Chains A and B, each alone.
Chain A
C-alpha cells in the first residue's frame, strides 16, 4: 500500500511547476552546506594546520620567551635556551631525541634586490631525516641539503614561483647572497601552502651558526617522545627541568613547551568555529526550506481540492489522502536532499582538489555513505514533518465541499 502512495505522490511531483521546485532551495542549500562541510573536512583541517605551520603532530617544541615575541620563533628572547638544555632534555627518560633548531632572520640579496626573511637550520645525520619528515619537505626541483653542504642553500617554493619580491624566479644553480656571503641554490622545496615554510631559506646547521654568529643560544628545541602516550609526561618533565635550570617558579615560566595537542586544539577550535557557523546557516536554511514545503503543500491542497473530493468520492479514506500528501511533502524534502548531497559532494571533491593544489597535499574528500544515507532519510523526514499540517488539512476536507472545488 505504501508503495502505491509513493508512486502516486511521485507522479504528482513530476507535474509540479517551477514554483514548487524553488521552495526546495532552502533544503538544498542546507544539505549542500552540511555535506560539503563534511566531505571537505580532511582538506580543511590540513589547510588550516598548514597555515599555522603545524606540520607534524608527534613532536613537542620548546621555545624561550613565550607568546609575545615577534619575528621568527625563538628569536629575540631575553633569556634564550642553551645548547646544554638540548642534552639535558635528551637525557630525560620519556624523551627519545631532542634537536636544536635555529631560525634566525637576516637579509637575502638576489637580482640586486635585498629582502629580509628568515632561515631554518637543518641538522646533520639521522636528525636531518627526522626534520625533513617532520616538516614534510620534498624537492620540487634540484635536491634537498645533505651532510657537508656548506655554501649551499635550499629555498622555499615562493622564491621559485617569483613570489618573494626579487622580480625574478630563483632556480637551482643561482647564487644568492645571505648576510653578505655567497651561497649556491641547490634545490627548491615543494609548495606547502604556508607562507612560513614557502618563504624560508634552508641552511645546514653549522654554516648557519657560523654565518649568524650563534654560539650557545638555541632558538627552539624539537623533542621526539619515546611513546605517544608519554607526551604529557614528557612535557611535564621538560618543564620541571627548565624551571630548575632557568631558576623560575611554576606559573612564571619564561619558556613554552607545546605539545601537538595544544596546536591541534587551536586548529580544532578554528575549524569548530567555521563548522558551527556553517551548521547554523545550514539549519536556518533547512528551517526556511521546511516552511517553504509547508507553504507549497498548503497551496497544493487548495489547488487540488476538487481532486481530493474526487478521490474521496471514489473511495479514498481520510488516511489515504493524508499519506498521499504527507509522502509527497517527504519526497519534496528528499529531492532537495538528493540535489544537496550531489552538489555538496562535488564541492567537497573540487574543494579538496583545490586545497591539495594549494598546499601540495594529497588528501581525499571524505565520503561517508552511512552519513549520506542518514542525510537523505533526514531530508525526507523534514519534508514529512513539514507536510503533516497540510496533509491533515487535505484529509479532513469534506468530500461534498471539496468536490465543489
Chain B
C-alpha cells in the first residue's frame, strides 16, 4: 500500500451569507496516496473548487479533518499553511497566474524565495526547470511575450520549484487549445511517472478519465462516486448509502461507461 499523502475526513465547508448557509462542501472524504494521478471532477457549483482549496491547504474546513503527510492541518494559521503548501504543494492554475512584472525565470524563482533559498541556488534550479519544460531560451522573457502553452509550462516549472510531493492543477488546459493542452497534460503525466502525485481539478470527464487513475466525481458538495482507471468502481462508505437511496441510476450509468472505455 502506498503512503497516504492527503486525506480529507468527513470535511465540511459552509459559508454563511446572512441567514443563508451555502454548503459548498458537505461532508466529503478524499484520500490521495503518494504517486497517484487523481482527478476531482464536477460541474460548476459541485464544490470542486472548494475541495481543491481544501486539498491544496489554501483553505481550512468548517468541520472535519485534513491530513497532509500525516499531519493534521485543519486548524493551522494562514501563515503556517503558507509555509507548508509552499514546500509540499505546487500549484498550476487555469489562467497560469504568472506574475506579469517578473521574467519567466524570476517567476520560477519566486516560490523558492518564499522558502528562504539563496539567490544563487534559485537561479541554478530555475534554469534546470526551464530546460525540463523545454523553455531554456525563454528565461528572460516576460509572461506577455510568450504563448499560452508556454505560460502553462512556466507555471509547471514554477510548481516544481520547491520539489513538492504534490502538484495541484486547477483546470490546467482550460485556457488552451486541444493540441497545446495535450502537451501540458503530457508533461503532467511525465511528472507522475517520475513519482510526483498529481491532483487535477477539471469539469471535463474525458480529460479526467484519460489521464487520472482515480476520479472523484463531485456533485452538490458531496462525492457522488469514485472511479478507478482499471474499471474498479468504488464509492466512499458514506456516499454509498446516499447513492443507494437516491441515485442508483447514475451509478449504473457511470459503471457502464467505464466498462465501455476499458474495452
Interface residues of A (CB under 8 A from B): 1, 4, 8, 11-12, 14-15, 306-307, 309-320, 398-400, 403
Give, as a whole number of angstroms, the nearest-CB distance from B89 to chain A. 8
Besides A12-B101, A313-B85, A403-B58, 9 other A-B contacts (C-beta < 8 A): A11-B102, A15-B101, A307-B99, A314-B91, A314-B110, A314-B159, A318-B78, A318-B79, A398-B78
Give which listed residue, B78, B97, B119, contacts A4 with CB less than 8 A.
B119
Q: A315 to B79, Cβ gap below 8 A?
A: no
Report the separation of the CA atoms of residues A399 and B52 in the bound assembly, to the nearest whole angstrom: 13
Give which listed residue, B82, B85, B97, B158, contacts A318 with CB less than 8 A.
B82
Q: Which residues of A have CB within 8 Å of B78? A: 318, 398-399
Report the separation of the CA atoms of residues A316 and B111 in the bound assembly, to the nearest whole angstrom: 7
Q: B101 to A315, Cβ gap below 8 A?
A: no
Q: Beyond A314-B111, A315-B115, A319-B79, is A400–B58 a contact (Cβ under 8 Å)?
A: yes
Report B79-120 CB contacts with A as 1/0, cut-off 8 Å.
100110111001101000101111000100011011110010
Categorize the interface residue count of chain B.
20 to 34
Give, as a whole number of angstroms, the nearest-CB distance from A404 to chain B. 9
Interface residues of B in 203-231 (CB under 8 A from A): none
Q: Beyond A14-B101, A315-B87, is A1–B116 a contact (Cβ under 8 Å)?
A: yes
Say yes or no for B175: interface residue by CB 8 A criterion. Answer: no
Q: B58 to A315, Cβ gap below 8 A?
A: no
Q: Beyond A11-B106, A400-B59, is A315–B97 a contact (Cβ under 8 Å)?
A: no
Say yes or no for B53: interface residue by CB 8 A criterion. Answer: yes
Q: A315 to B99, Cβ gap below 8 A?
A: no
Q: Beyond A306-B97, A399-B58, A399-B78, is A317–B114 a contact (Cβ under 8 Å)?
A: yes
Report the separation of the CA atoms of residues A157 and B15 in the bound assembly, to the nearest whole angstrom: 87
Give, as a whole number of angstroms, the nearest-CB distance from A393 to chain B. 15
Q: B111 to A315, Cβ gap below 8 A?
A: yes
Q: Which residues of B have CB within 8 Å of A398? A: 78
The residue on A at minimum CB distance from B91 is: A313
Give, as a whole number of angstroms, the nearest-CB distance from A317 to chain B. 4
Report the separation of the CA atoms of residues A306 and B100 in the bound assembly, to the nearest whole angstrom: 11
Closest 7 CB pairs of A and B: A315-B86, A315-B114, A310-B97, A314-B111, A317-B79, A15-B101, A317-B82
Say yes or no for B42: interface residue by CB 8 A criterion. Answer: no
The residue on B at minimum CB distance from A14 is: B101
Interface residues of B (CB under 8 A from A): 53, 56, 58-59, 78-79, 82-83, 85-87, 90-91, 93, 97, 99-102, 106, 110-111, 113-116, 119, 158-159, 161-162
Q: B101 to A316, Cβ gap below 8 A?
A: no
Give, as a whole number of angstroms, the nearest-CB distance from B149 to chain A. 19
Q: Which residues of B have CB within 8 Å of A309? A: 97
Q: Which residues of A have CB within 8 Å of B115? A: 315
Q: A320 to B114, Cβ gap below 8 A?
A: yes
Q: B58 to A314, Cβ gap below 8 A?
A: no
Q: Beyond A306-B97, A403-B58, is A314–B116 a contact (Cβ under 8 Å)?
A: no
Q: B86 to A314, Cβ gap below 8 A?
A: yes
Give, as a whole number of angstroms, the nearest-CB distance from B219 to chain A. 21
Report the separation of the CA atoms of residues A12 and B99 in the bound assembly, to the nearest whole angstrom: 10
Q: Which residues of A have CB within 8 Å of B111? A: 314-315
Q: B56 to A313, Cβ gap below 8 A?
A: yes
Report the separation of the CA atoms of residues A404 and B187 in the bound assembly, to the nearest whole angstrom: 26
Cβ contacts A to B, 5 pairs, < 8 Å = A311-B99, A313-B56, A313-B91, A314-B111, A315-B115
Give which listed residue, B58, B113, B116, B162, contacts A313 with CB less than 8 A.
B58
Q: B85 to A315, Cβ gap below 8 A?
A: yes
The residue on A at minimum CB distance from B170 is: A403
Report the separation of the CA atoms of residues A12 and B103 in the bound assembly, to the nearest whole angstrom: 11
The residue on B at minimum CB distance from A13 is: B101
Q: B100 to A15, Cβ gap below 8 A?
A: yes
Q: B82 to A316, Cβ gap below 8 A?
A: yes
The residue on A at minimum CB distance from B56 is: A313
Q: Beyond A1-B116, A4-B113, A12-B101, is A314–B106 a contact (Cβ under 8 Å)?
A: no
Give which listed residue, B53, B59, B102, B162, contacts A315 with CB less than 8 A.
B162
Q: Which residues of A have CB within 8 Å of B101? A: 11-12, 14-15
Q: Which residues of A have CB within 8 Å of B82? A: 312, 315-318, 399
Report the separation of the CA atoms of residues A3 and B159 in the bound assembly, to the nearest whole angstrom: 23
Q: B110 to A311, Cβ gap below 8 A?
A: yes
Q: Which residues of A have CB within 8 Å of B159? A: 314
Q: A400 to B53, Cβ gap below 8 A?
A: yes
Q: Beyond A11-B101, A310-B97, A400-B53, is A317–B106 a contact (Cβ under 8 Å)?
A: no
Q: Which residues of B have CB within 8 Å of A314? A: 86, 90-91, 110-111, 114, 158-159, 161
The residue on B at minimum CB distance from A15 is: B101
